Amino acid sequence: DAGVIQSPRHEVTEMGQEVTLRCKPISGHDYLFWYRQTMMRGLELLIYFNNNVPIDDSGMPEDRFSAKMPNASFSTLKIQPSEPRDSAVYFCASSLGTGGTEAFFGQGTRLTVV
């Protein structure tokens, strides 16, 4: 398996624009996580899915953020409208099983909102 695949790797957008980040988890993994990493706040869990169903979205910062998982092999994180403070590296990770098993991370999407 190629691992968790995220796209794009880099995104530069203007404030107010819609941004969509994409993730393909490892085949067979039933958990998918979206994290955001910044120097100030470290690595924050935004939302996670189990079998395509959102389980905990308490980390989503505002209504401008939304995430979907239409099937087991694809998830999106959307920011609309984007703001400069959304600039960060966004990671997708997937794992198999329950009880906090090993998470496999993608390479991340570096988002810059100007």
The binder of other proteins chosen from 50, 66, 73, 76 (CB under 8 A)? 50
**Would you count residue 95 as binding other proteins (CB under 8 A)?**
yes
Q: How many residues form the binding site for other proteins (CB under 8 A)? A: 26
Question: In the Cβ-directed half-sphere of 59, how many Cα atoms lie within 13 Å?
Answer: 18
Name residues whose C-beta falls within 8 Å of residue 20's C-beta, 6 or more positions apart in sequence. 76, 77, 78
Within 6-45, which residues bind other proteins (CB under 8 A)? 31, 33, 35, 42-43, 45
Task: Name the token pair of 35.
Answer: 């994290």
Bridge partners (DSSP) listed for residue 67: 77
Stretch of 20-28, 61-69, 75-83, 100-108 contacting other proteins, by CB under 8 A: 100-108
Location of structure tokens 């991340």: 108
Distance (Å, rounded) from C-alpha 26 to C-alpha 28? 6
Near other proteins by CB under 8 A: residue from 7, 52, 73, 107: 107
Cβ of 56: how many Cβ atoms within 10 Å?
13
Using the rule CB under 8 A, is 108 a contact of other proteins? yes
Contact residues toward other proteins (CB under 8 A) are 4, 31, 33, 35, 42-43, 45, 48, 50, 55-56, 91, 93, 95, 97-108
